[in-house]
Amino acid sequence: MYEYRVTHYKEVFSVARLNIIFLCLLVTVGCKPKNTYVPPPPTEVVIAHPIEGFVTPALEFSGNIQAFRSVQIVARVEGVLLKAPINEGERVKEGDLLFQIQHDTYDAQLQQAQAKVIADKASLVYATKEFARYTELLKQNAAPQTQLDNWQFQRDTAQAKLISSEADVTLAKLNVSYTKVTAPFDGIVGRRLKDPGSLVGPGESTALSDMSQIDYIYANFTISEQDLLDFIAKYLTKKERSNRVPKFPVYLQLSHEEGYPHQGFLDYAGINLDKGTGTLALRAIFANPDHTLIPGHFVRVKLMPTNSTPVSALLIPDDIVELDQEGNYVLIVDENNIVQRRSVKTGIHQGKMLAIQDGLSVSDWVVVNGVFGALPGKKINPTKDVLKLDKRLLSINLSKPNPTS
């Protein structure tokens, strides 16, 4: 009993001591100063003045690439596909064998048609001779008119049958030729859609493959009605206006390229403005000997007037120009390091730089790096920089391209 009481008192003392320690901790924590909000430092961005340079007036468009020629290879006669000697993606010449369809049936049909021609020729020869013989007999009153009329009918019928049978021979020869599916032009064969052993055509239109010619390619783009009118008024001479599609130089740029390294010329203009969009369809042709331009590519196209001369312009990096519901804009920084939105009117590209026609002056500080951290009305910590212009991109080679069709 004594030991139990001693142990109990010890436990009570331990609990009391723990409570005292806990209370002291609470008092100590309560005596610490309260946390206060410390605003983050201003965002660090890089700013620079626009730079002055020279650009050649031109019109820029977005477009897409189309093959110079593109066809779907189909089976024109029914039969089992025997072989496909050409590999997928292989270059072929016009007339090369692409697919071979079973031809035994069509060979036999050709022989039947040729045999019928021989028989019809014999009938025509016989009927012609009989008609001539009865003509003479009639003159001698040795035969009735009905006999002559009958042989005239027989001759004309035989002649008609011969024409029909000769047409059957022509059709049979065509069917035999259709069993050999050949390349319609020089180009590249696409993916094979039917394997040897398959039953193909003509109950259903059986596509065997596709084929494109891309040694030359088209770039399709559109021009707005206002740009078209301005272009005609500013740049077209009287002689050029008489030619519905002047052979203006056109330059093309892929998304990863600097400048406009591909040169071609305008070769087609639509005959009507699109009523829905108010634009006119245009097309340019480009030489593509190394096949770097692939049908389906989205590209930038620059239409260059032949009589345009370089003019002075303010240039800024094209990737800092943003677009919202109010139009194109850039972010500038005022004397108090406050970010402001500034609407701008953009011009043409000069390499990776973009000409600004209105909205900026050479003394403005434009945010060129850290745009996503700079918000209108927000104070920032700017670092000043100097823009540089790649001298290689100040001009475009205006030598006239010479792709041909």
Arithmetic mean of pLDDT, 68-77:
94
Asked if residue 122 has pLDDT above 90, the reply is yes
User: At 353, is the pLDDT very low, low, confident or very high (cuts 50, 70, 90)?
Assistant: confident
Cβ–Cβ under 8 Å, residues 164 and 117: no
Asked if residue 398 has pLDDT above 50, the reply is no
Q: Which of 303, 322, 354 is the last residue of a domain?
A: 303
Arithmetic mean of pLDDT, 67-88:
93
Q: What is the spatial distance between Cα 42 and Cα 370, in angstroms, rounded to a whole number?
A: 12
Q: State pTM to two decimals.
A: 0.68
Same domain for 297 and 362? no
User: At 372, is the pLDDT very low, low, confident or very high (cuts 50, 70, 90)?
Assistant: confident
Asked if residue 18 has pLDDT above 80, the reply is no
Q: Which of 255, 288, 303 is the last residue of a domain?
A: 303
The pLDDT value given to residue 273: 92
Q: Domain span at residue 174?
A: 71-210
Q: How far is residue 393 from each of residues 256, 264, 299, 389, 397, measured CA to CA in Å?
A: 15, 18, 18, 8, 10
The pLDDT value given to residue 304: 79
User: At 189, is the pLDDT very low, low, confident or very high (cuts 50, 70, 90)?
Assistant: very high
Residue from 193, 352, 340, 119 nearest 258 by CA: 352
Same domain for 108 and 182? yes
Asked if residue 401 has pLDDT above 90, the reply is no
Same domain for 51 and 77? no
Where b means 16+ CB within 10 Å and e means fewer, 113-146 reads beebbeebbebbeebbebbeebeeeeeeeebeee
**Stronger pLDDT, 207 or 9, i.e. the higher one:** 207
The pLDDT value given to residue 123: 95
Same domain for 241 and 319? no
| 197: Cβ contacts below 8 Å, ≥ 6 apart | 80, 81
The pLDDT value given to residue 4: 44
User: At 395, is the pLDDT very low, low, confident or very high (cuts 50, 70, 90)?
Assistant: very low
**Stronger pLDDT, 395 or 354, i.e. the higher one:** 354
Same domain for 98 and 217? no
Same domain for 357 and 273? no
Same domain for 294 and 231? yes
The pLDDT value given to residue 19: 59
CA angle 281, 286, 288 (to 5 degrees): 140
Same domain for 315 and 251? no
Arithmetic mean of pLDDT, 367-383:
85
**Stronger pLDDT, 388 or 29, i.e. the higher one:** 388
Which two structure tokens, joined as six digits, stand for 106?
């069509």
Same domain for 121 and 197? yes
In a domain, 350, yes or no: yes
Same domain for 206 and 242? no
Tens of pLDDT, residue by residue over 145-169, are: 999 899 999 999 999 999 999 999 9
Arithmetic mean of pLDDT, 334-349:
89
The pLDDT value given to residue 40: 72
Tens of pLDDT, residue by residue over 299-324, are: 999 887 777 778 888 999 988 899 88
Tens of pLDDT, residue by residue over 201-243, are: 887 778 999 999 999 999 999 999 988 888 888 777 777 666 7
Same domain for 258 and 316? no
The pLDDT value given to residue 60: 86
β-bridge partners, 160:
none
The pLDDT value given to residue 24: 55
Arithmetic mean of pLDDT, 9-19:
52
Asked if residue 394 has pLDDT above 70, the reply is no
The pLDDT value given to residue 73: 94
β-bridge partners, 299:
63
Same domain for 201 and 153? yes
In a domain, 157, yes or no: yes
Q: What is the spatial distance between Cα 226 and Cα 224, in angstroms, rounded to a whole number?
A: 6
For the chain, give the percent of residues with pLDDT over 70. Answer: 84
Q: What is the spatial distance between Cα 336 and Cα 344, in angstroms, rounded to a whole number?
A: 22
Q: Which of 210, 233, 266 is the last residue of a domain?
A: 210
The pLDDT value given to residue 205: 74
Arithmetic mean of pLDDT, 100-123:
96
User: At 1, is the pLDDT very low, low, confident or very high (cuts 50, 70, 90)?
Assistant: very low
Task: Provide the domain count of the chain.
Answer: 3
User: At 392, is the pLDDT very low, low, confident or very high (cuts 50, 70, 90)?
Assistant: very low
**CATH number where 339 lies:** 2.40.420.20
**CATH number where 296 lies:** 2.40.30.170
In a domain, 194, yes or no: yes
3-state secondary structure of 210: strand
| 274: Cβ contacts below 8 Å, ≥ 6 apart | 222, 280, 281
